[in-house]
Chain A
Amino acid sequence: TQLLEQSPQFLSIQEGENLTVYCNSSSVFSSLQWYRQEPGEGPVLLVTVVTGGEVKKLKRLTFQFGDARKDSSLHITAAQPGDTGLYLCAGAGTGAGSYQLTFGKGTKLSVIP
């Protein structure tokens, strides 16, 4: 069974501050996705990282995939109130049933104006 440890679980910061969310596992993933979910809505895919060491940027969001493809981080620069939401990381396996995603428990981010 693959597990994905996501931290922190809750984060409340002031507008303009930086933050980093981590996802760690002892398992290797073929790819890792980051999603953002608003209350009462489905998760929205932000990015997919595939290659070990890969870094992707989406405006003020920077996503990194670990060299060994076991961990990932999401860094937000100068957070805005619009960044508030539940951030979920999800890893895709490498073997049979690799279509399934293993989800972290999520990070609930609140950005205070």
Chain B
Amino acid sequence: GAVVSQHPSWVICKSGTSVKIECRSLDFQATTMFWYRQFPKQSLMLMATSNEGSKATYEQGVEKDKFLINHASLTLSTLTVTSAHPEDSSFYICSAATSSYNEQFFGPGTRLTVL
């Protein structure tokens, strides 16, 4: 149980285009979903916290107009990187939280490369 999927697993795009990443909890309903960014050889950096049906809460320094988050249901959250630039290239990981002990279950990640 507690499986989270992410799609796509990798994407290459041109500078200036927008990219959408989907995060789904497959066998449970997630009260909250999170989006992280991870640079090589570093730990996870929380970008935003998302609750179904409400606006996402962004961490300091994360541009909400650039990283659009939509949490349409208890099993789906999407992250759209708008007008992507090479500095947005990174490994993006989502997680879904259950209510028990605040455990988070992570998706497999999406490698974004902006040319």
Contacts and interface: CB of A to CB of B under 8 A. Distances in A.
Interface stretch (A13-21, A27-35, A66-74, A77-85): A27-35
Contacts of A105: 42-43
Given A105-B42, A108-B41, A44 B102 contact: no
A100 B34 contact: yes
Nearest to A91: B102
B49 A99 contact: yes
B101 A50 contact: yes
A101 B43 contact: no
B102 to A, nearest CB: 4
How many chain B residues sit at the interface, stated as a range, is 20 to 34
A42 B109 contact: yes
Given A104-B43, A105-B42, A105-B43, A33 B107 contact: no
A60 B92 CA distance: 31
B69 interface: no
Contacts of B108: 41-42
Interface in A39-55: 40-45, 48, 50
Contacts of A35: 106
How many chain A residues sit at the interface, stated as a range, is 20 to 34
A103 to B, nearest CB: 5
B25 interface: no
Given A100-B34, A103-B43, A103-B44, A42 B102 contact: no
Contact of B31 (A30, A41, A99): A99
A103 B46 CA distance: 9
Contacts of A97: 49
Contacts of A99: 31-32, 49, 97, 102
16 contacts: A33-B103, A35-B106, A41-B109, A42-B106, A43-B44, A45-B2, A48-B101, A88-B44, A92-B101, A97-B49, A99-B49, A99-B102, A104-B43, A105-B42, A106-B43, A108-B41
3 nearest A-B residue pairs (beta carbon): A92-B102, A42-B106, A31-B101
Interface of A: 30-31, 33, 35, 40-45, 48, 50, 88, 90, 92, 97-101, 103-106, 108
